[in-house]
Amino acid sequence: MIRSLTGVVLGVSETSVLLDVNGLGFDLLCTRAAAALCSVGQRVRLTTYLQISEAGAALYGFASERERELFLKVVAIKGVGGRTGMAILSALSVDEVLRAVSLADVAAFTRAPGVGKKTAERLCFELRSLLPDGLIQSAAQGEGVPSRTADTVAEALVGLGFTQADA
């Protein structure tokens, strides 16, 4: 298993990073937070997850171990694959996902591309049982979670034509 990679960034897009690790080029599908850490020409270390399925192999990159662990919980849910998991973690931060689960906020999950109402409901319900109770309760009380005002401002910026990452 490939747990992390350290190398020089050759290219960055909104959803992926091309990383040169001692002459080997790795194309990682990344969360918004992981892509934000990367600048072309700079050295970076990303936490990773290698998923091998019938469709082939995919290498995912994360900004932190916490983000990776949440991704693994999300993709453990029936009907949620790696690309959908990455879409969720690119649309919502780890704290926003925890808050959405604690408040059963289906609308928060539907902001992620490819996540409909039924999948969002399943995420709220099943993540509640997969995540530690203390983590969900602290999210419900607002500890370390951005305010709803920040979400509203970000939605307005996206509505004005900014990308989700820029907002």
Percent of the chain with pLDDT over 70: 79
- 18's tokens: 């091309």
Q: Which residue has the higher pLDDT, 25 or 143?
A: 25
With tokens 């990367």, the residue in question is: 38
With tokens 């989700």, the residue in question is: 164
Question: Looking at the chain, how many residues does it have?
Answer: 167
Q: Which residue has the higher pLDDT, 137 or 165?
A: 165
Q: What is the pLDDT of residues 54-108, one digit of tens each?
A: 889 999 999 999 999 999 999 999 889 999 999 999 999 999 999 999 888 999 9
Angle at 154 between CA 61 and CA 166, to 5 degrees: 50
**pLDDT over threshold 50, residue 146:** no
CA 15, CA 29: separation in Å to the nearest integer? 6
Q: What is the number of other CB atoms lying within 10 angstroms of the CB of residue 153?
A: 12
What is the predicted pLDDT for the residue at 130? Answer: 85
Phi, psi of 50 (to 5 degrees): -100, 120
Q: What is the pLDDT of residues 116-139, one digit of tens each?
A: 999 999 998 999 888 876 555 555
Q: Is 12 exposed, middle or buried (0-12, 13-18, 19+ CB in 10 A)?
A: buried
- 24's tokens: 């080997």
Q: Which helix (H) or strand (E) holds 72?
A: helix 65-75
**pLDDT over threshold 90, residue 158:** no
Alpha helix locations (H) across 93-147? 94-103, 106-110, 117-130, 133-140
**pLDDT over threshold 70, residue 148:** no
Q: Are 106 and 120 in contact (CB under 8 A)?
A: yes
Average pLDDT value for the chain: 86
What is the predicted pLDDT for the residue at 38? Answer: 95
pLDDT grade for 156, boundaries at 50, 70 and 90: low
Q: Give the global pTM.
A: 0.77
What is the predicted pLDDT for the residue at 147? Answer: 47
**pLDDT over threshold 90, residue 145:** no
What is the predicted pLDDT for the residue at 129? Answer: 86
Q: Which residue has the higher pLDDT, 24 or 137?
A: 24
What is the predicted pLDDT for the residue at 69? Answer: 94
